[in-house]
Structure 1
Amino acid sequence: MTEIVPVSGPELVTYADELAALLIDTVEGGASVGFLTPLDRASAATWWRERAVAVEEGRHQVWIARDGERLAGTIGLVKPALPNARHRAEVAKLMVRPSSRGHGLGRALLAAVERSAAAEGLTLLVLDTETGSPAERLYSAAGWTECGSIPAYAGDPAGVLRATTFYYKAVGPANPVTAQ
């Protein structure tokens, strides 16, 4: 049974080494999540630990999926600091351990973030992913709307520039967001 739970800043520090291993597996598996290969464990763990203050302050939220004693996946939600953006947030770093893929965990992590965002009064979520990646099928199946792509937007783990596709999803009970 997989359990998905939000983590506090101190808990994020506690899980940093496990999250670093997941991040390295994800990057080595070819996912474009902002890092290049080779990614060493110390740098990956430091990246996670550096998010702890933002998590404690509520500017960044992180959920982990545990399958027994093992960390199986994670997802984040980053809130903009600007006053005119308090209704939205960015979904970031959706990662599922390769051995846990294909069982609906990515979809469950995404749904957990969507429910939490709506409960907090957020009305719009955005995310981006490498164009042509397997993640695009997940986002489309989960009801996200593609809103365009930018060529050569981000480097893949090998540093090769790739196109990135952007998505959005309206969440919450009374949402004013409509496609235009």
Structure 2
Amino acid sequence: MQFKPYARSLAIAFSLALVAGCSSTGGTQDGSMDGGVAGSGASSSGVSGGQASGSGYGGTAGQQADGRIPQQRTIYFAFDSDVIRPEFESVLAANARFLRENGNASVVLQGHTDERGTREYNLALGERRANAVEQFLSVQGVSPSQVEVVSYGEERPAARGQNEEAYAQNRRVVFAY
């Protein structure tokens, strides 16, 4: 049939376009911020790295008064979920406050997943996670023109490894100012 070569060419073109659209533009990944914040949040009470940085944020919420970008810019998600966990609502509220008070500031919400699942599924899940954060910010009064959503799926892991600790660090949304 004549259709098969056409379909194959179309599939290759689509794959190349998808890879080009998801390629890195250089620079560093904002997910590396977790180490510095977790280290400064020494008041955490024995909670794992990702959770400690979210729960130990209360002390830095006052930074919004002087117009600085919040220190905590990463929130984490449960496996196969786009539901915002309660321990990260204060992080989201602080970032929302910063964006409301700085109307000229903009943010890219970068959705990430762990490596489990297909590439396509993980891109969609990363987008759903970033969209959940965008919806939260919108409810908090942040202008939609200040927010952009992008999904990297499993392509930019914060931690390498095939264990639950690494997976948990990779299931995240990063605020990239």
Q: TM-score, normalised by structure 2?
A: 0.33
Structure with higher helix content: 2
Larger of the two Rg values belongs to structure: 2
Structure with higher strand content: 1
Q: TM-score, normalised by structure 1?
A: 0.33
